[in-house]
Chain A
Amino acid sequence: MNTLQRLATACMLCITTHATAQAANVTVVISGLGGSEEYSEKFNQYATTIADATRKIALTPTDVMLLRGDASKKEILIALFDAIATRTDIDKFSAFFIGHGSFDGRAYKFNIPGPDITGEELAELLNKIQSKQQLVVASTSASGALLDIIDTGNQSTGQRILITATKNGREKTAVLFPEFMVEALEGATADTDKNESISAAEIFEYANRAVESHYETEKLLAPEHARLKGEAAEGFEITRYGNLLSSQDQIPQELISTRETLANQLSILRSRKEDIDEDEYFDTLQDLMLKLADIQRQIDDSSK
Chain B
Amino acid sequence: MASGAGPTTLPHRSVTNIRSGPSQGPPGPSSPHTPPRNIASVYGSPSTVRADDEIIVVEIGSRFIRAGFAGDSLPKATVQCGPEQQRRAGDFRAWQTLARKPGQAWAAEHEIWRYDLREVDTGLVRDKLDRLLRDAFTKHLLLDSRPRRTALVLDSDLPVPLVSAVLDTVFDRFQTPMVSLLSSATMSTVAAGTRSALIINMGWSETVITSVYEYREVKTTRTVRGGRFLLDELYSKLLVPLVTDERQQDNADHVISFEETEDIMCRLMWCRPSATRLSQRDSAQLETVEEQDESDVETPTNATPSTGTTQVPFNSTVPPRTVDVAFESLANVCDDVFFDPSAPAASFDDHELPIHMLVYQHLLQLPIDVRAICMSRIIFTGGCSAILGLKERVVDEVSSMVDRRGWEPVSGKGAEKHNQKLQGRSAKGSPGETSPPEDRQIEHILNPAFAEPEYDSVEAKIARHRYHDQPIQGKLRALHSLGPWAGASLMCQLKISALATIDRELWQQQGSLGASRPNEVDFKAQQRQSMGAGGLIRGSGGHHMNWTLGAWGAA
User: Are A and B part of the same complex?
Assistant: no
Interface residues of A (CB under 8 A from B): none
